[in-house]
Structure 1
Amino acid sequence: MQRVILQVPMSKDLKEKAQSASQDLGFSSIQEAIRVLLTKFAKKELSLKVTEEVEEVTRLSKVAEKRYKKAIDDIKAGRNIYRPKNKEEFFKMLRS
């Protein structure tokens, strides 16, 4: 098999983000991730769909915001937290 080198111009920022993402997914390098991607794409085992997604922002009511803030403060302070002693106690708590 004859090997060729594919050069793809891109911004430094894009390269760094792609390297980080490929490592997060368990690839040893961005080259390995691209090689796997192109192999799957060439075998038509990979389909691509480009969409523009708009992130929806959910706004909490004032009451809900207050409740979540209190819960987070309690967790940070170690209040109102139950820690089961063993797995049986944990599952009993889940079933109740």
Structure 2
Amino acid sequence: MSYVTITTWEIADGTDYDVSMRNIREKRLPALKELGANRVTVVRTSDRTSAAITEWPDQVTRDTAEAAIEAVRAKVHTEDMVRLTGEMNGEVVAEV
């Protein structure tokens, strides 16, 4: 079965959501695909928050991408004006 990571993010006060999301759409999401993600979906959950659902073919692929993901997360705060507020992950056990 596939493996999913769900991360939650908050955009800094005074930062335009659309401006911040442009860099994420153009840079961050394609980078996840290059690391092996099958699909990345970002859901706006409030004026300043989002959740990103990243689908991986398996946990091994996600674990292999871990170092590169952590390196990007270290930059995201200053470059995209967002901060990671939470993360959940696990194997998909049912889907329709």
Please give the range of the TM-score, normalised by the shorter of the 2 chains. Answer: under 0.3
Larger Rg: 1
| Structure with more of its chain in strand, by fraction | 2
Structure number with the higher helix fraction is 1
Higher relative CO (Cα under 8 Å, sequence separation at least 6) belongs to: 2
